[in-house]
Amino acid sequence: MKILCFGVAREIAGGSHLFLDDVAGGTVASLRERLLRDYPAFGELVSFAVARNEEYAEDTDIVEAGDEVVIIPPVAGG
């Protein structure tokens, strides 16, 4: 599954997107666990949101094949 990355997530992933196999059918929580395992630098972020099909996703949401999934890191501003 192609997962889009913004902000510092792009730096962690090494580009504007990353690919993960075997995440379709799982929960957003399991996707987060996979990201932390495969890309440990995500654990250094205070938090990061996951959006699914242009809406913020809850950890219990199911990621389906064909979903657009985006990692949104925390944003600092002033």
12-57 pLDDT, tens per residue?
A: 999 999 999 999 999 999 999 999 999 999 999 888 999 999 999 9
Half-sphere exposure of 73 (CA within 13 A, CB side): 21
For 15, 64, 66, the CA distances from 26, given in Å and listed in that order, are: 24, 8, 13
* CA atoms of 27 and 33, how far apart (whole Å): 10
- pTM, to two decimals: 0.88
Residues 54-72: pLDDT tens digits?
A: 999 999 999 999 999 999 9
Residue 40 has phi, psi (to 5 degrees) of: -55, -25
Query: CB-based contacts of 11: which residues, under 8 Å, 6+ apart?
Result: none
